[in-house]
Every structure is written in structure tokens, then in C-alpha cells.
Amino acid sequence: MDTPEQPQIYLITPPTIKLSTFPDQLASVLDGAEIACIRLALAGGDEDAIARAADACREVAHARDVALVISNHVLLAQRLGLDGVHLDDAARSVRAARKELGPDAIVGSFCGASSHDGMTAGEAGADYVAFGPVGASVLGDGTKAELDLFQWWSEMIEVPVVAEGGLTPELIRDLAPCTDFFGIGDEIWSQDDPLAALKTLTNAM
């Protein structure tokens, strides 16, 4: 993933999706906005349900030349013909995932607010590191990834960085100079018109 002047949008699916409606919603967002990559971030361990959702989203994404990665399921990523994997355990699985998926797959790592984990993930072969939540989020223990982490990272580290979790237009405006991607999910899927909600956020750049 190249580092552009302006951050790119990295779309994160809801934890549960309705196969009857979500692929159309996803298509309308992809057709109306420039999206760099999609993360299939489904809750639960039902591999059949995940596989069906992945197939539906992959068709939509690949028809528009957008990469699709899946959270944590390294073997499913391979089996379902996805573009890679997003790991939630900081740097622990990066090396194994890279070995399993090969040099061309996308391997990303979520590192909370830890620059140390981020650097370890980068050294282990991650294509990008995600920090978050950057805003108020129900996830996690209240730890936030602060602006100065992104400023330091963008000055010191080559590995592309994703800002995600609780994004608002204000946070996007502040973070735009020092992040490569914004990971946007709940912020838009909880709205009646996800594309309009996304445009409200991206206009803040």
C-alpha cells in the first residue's frame, strides 16, 4: 500500500452483517468513495457464516479492484482467496502469518497504543500497523492512541500506519497530516446513509 499525500480510507465491516443487504451497502460506498482496502471484521467463530460473508464481500470488492483482508483468520484468508489478514494480537502472529500467506499477501497488525508493539510488528514483516482507538470507543480499557504517537511514527518509521476507533471529523482533521490510512467502520455503518456519513468524515481532511 503506497503512502499518498492524503490519507486513504480503510473500510472495516460491522461485526455482524446481513447478507441480504450488506453487499449492496458496501457496493454503494465503494462506488461513491475512494477506498484503499476493506477489512472483514466479523465476530464469532462460525466459519461457514464467515465464509459466506467473505465470498459476498470479495465479489463486491474485487469487482472494483479493492483489496479485502480478514481479521485473524489466516487459514480462511488463504482458503477464501482473500488478499491478506489483519491481526489483533499486536506483533505476536505477524511472522507466522507472513510465512503462511507468502510475500504478496497483506499482513497488518493492530497494536493498540503501543509504539513498541508497532515497531516489533514492522520488523516481523507487517505491511501496516494500526493504532487505536483514537477517539471515545466502547472497545478496550479506555487507553487511547494519542496524536503524538502518530506524529512520532510518521516522522520515525517507514511502515504505513492506520488510525482507527471512534473517529470524528475533528480527529480526522488533526490526524490527517500524520497517518496513512483511516480505519472507518462503526462510524458509518450505524448511520442510515453510510456513504453520506463517510463523506462527512473524509471532508474533514
Q: Where are the domains of the chain?
A: 8-202
With beta carbons less than 8 A apart as the criterion, state whether 166 and 138 touch: no
The pLDDT of residue 152 is 98
Q: 8 pLDDT exceeds 70?
A: yes
b/e per residue 76-86 (b: at least 16 CB within 10 A): bbbebebbbbb
* pLDDT tens column, 152-185: 999 999 999 999 999 999 999 999 999 999 999 9
For helices 147-156 and 115-123, angle between their N-to-C axes, nearest 10 degrees: 30
Query: Exposed, middle or buried by CB within 10 Å (0-12, 13-18, 19+), for 156?
Result: exposed
SS (H, E, C) the chain: CCCCCCCEEEEECCCCCCCCCHHHHHHHHHHHCCEEEEEECCCCCCHHHHHHHHHHHHHHHHHCCCEEEEECCHHHHHHCCCCEEEECCCCCCHHHHHHHHCCCCEEEEECCCCHHHHHHHHHCCCCEEEECCCCCCCCCCCCCCCHHHHHHHHHHCCCCEEEECCCCHHHHHHHHHHCCEEEECHHHHCCCCHHHHHHHHHCCC
Cα Rg of the chain, angstroms: 16
pLDDT at 83 over 50: yes
How is domain 8-202 classified at the CATH fold level? TIM Barrel (3.20.20)
Q: How confident is the model at residue 137 (pLDDT cuts 50, 70, 90)?
A: low
User: How do residues 13-37 score in pLDDT, each as one tens digit?
Assistant: 999 999 999 999 999 999 999 999 9
